[in-house]
Structure 1
Amino acid sequence: MKFKIVPLSKEYAARIRSTGKDAFDHPVIEQIATGSGPCRVSLKPFRKGIDKRLLISHSPFEIDNAYNQPGPVFINKEEVEEYADIHRFPPEIKANKKSFPLSLIGYSSDQQMIFTQLVGDCDVDELITRIFIQRPEVAFLHARNAQACCYICKIERVDE
């Protein structure tokens, strides 16, 4: 069983940078990174005190419903490449369990929350694969920071 990591797209980020507003029409807030992030486009951690980032409101859902969960996320101020190694979880996030404690939330195809699990000391790549094998009703997952509860990325099932 393979999976695919889905970051925010370069086009989405470019639209936010050019308009200065997020999808909820909130003004974008520019700041020097005070935390590791990560950028939701590149899925790379920010360098504290160095990188400029934009704070935006984002909802990772296509259907407006009770689980919509819009919230704050960061993107780089400058254009960056989308995370490209899509068949494995971003290694810099995976390796830093202190800065990035993870939870995985599973949703059905109609975007209803049906599963949650803290990653803890588990290997996140193995856990994602196991969830998709053992839970066929899970159409996709969201990785979230288990402490801050903020959205990191979408993880889609890839049937072989």
Structure 2
Amino acid sequence: MNNFKIVPLSKAFVQKIKTTMTDDFGNPVVEQLATGLGPCRISLKPFNKGVDKRLLFKHSPFELENAYNQPGPVFVNAEDVEEYTDVFRFPPEIKANKQSFPLSLIGYNKDQMMAVTRLVGDADIDDLINDLFDQHPDIEYLHARNAQACCFICKIERR
């Protein structure tokens, strides 16, 4: 049994962005045809290039304002999609495509200070997440990020 829970962006949060078409930083949301796989930060499923419409906006996955607060670009499906529900394992479509989704994990303590970073590489990400939580009791949560683009994919909470 995995000792973690995957937390995608919530539909409620994204609905606010879709309603105003403005992100939390006052920037306009950009709608475009998918040119990359993404993934959608709600469903955590890859986009269909040239088919899916996606929304691009600036997002900060942090609660506190400090030096480690890294706002950046995220994509969500422009259509209504369901939140990722298989939350006790890392999304299999992302996990299986290491070439398109090179991943890094960044662990933060209760003060939102960076405590550990790991490139996933060829490792099994579910095993690596479990190991990081087991080996670092000070980690409150992890962020999965694209290791090349550095953009936030999802939060991973300790169970």
Would the TM-score normalized by the shorter structure come out above 0.5? yes
Question: Residue in 2 aligned with 1:44?
Answer: 45
Q: What SS is found at the alignment partner of 1:116?
A: strand
Determine the C-alpha separation between the residues in 1 that align with 2:58 and 2:80.
18
% identity of equivalent residues: 68
Superposition misfits of 4+ residues, deviation over 3 angstroms: none
Structural mapping, 1:68-83, within 5 Å: 68-83=69-84
Listed one character per residue, the Cα deviations across residues 54-109 of structure 1 (whole Å, up to 9, x for unaligned) are: 00000000111111100000001011100000000000000000000000000001
Determine the C-alpha separation between the residues in 1 that align with 2:90 and 2:19.
29
RMSD: 0.6
Count matched residues.
Answer: 158
Question: Residue in 1 aligned with 2:95?
Answer: 94
Question: Residue in 1 aligned with 2:9?
Answer: 8
Determine the C-alpha separation between the residues in 2 that align with 1:61 and 1:39.
19
Maintained 8 Å contact 1:14/1:79: no
Q: TM-score, normalised by structure 1?
A: 0.97
Structural mapping, 1:1-160, within 5 Å: 2-158=3-159
In structure 2, give the amino acid aligned to 1:154.
K
Q: TM-score, normalised by structure 2?
A: 0.98
Q: Which runs of 5+ in 1 are unaligned?
A: none
Maintained 8 Å contact 1:139/1:157: yes
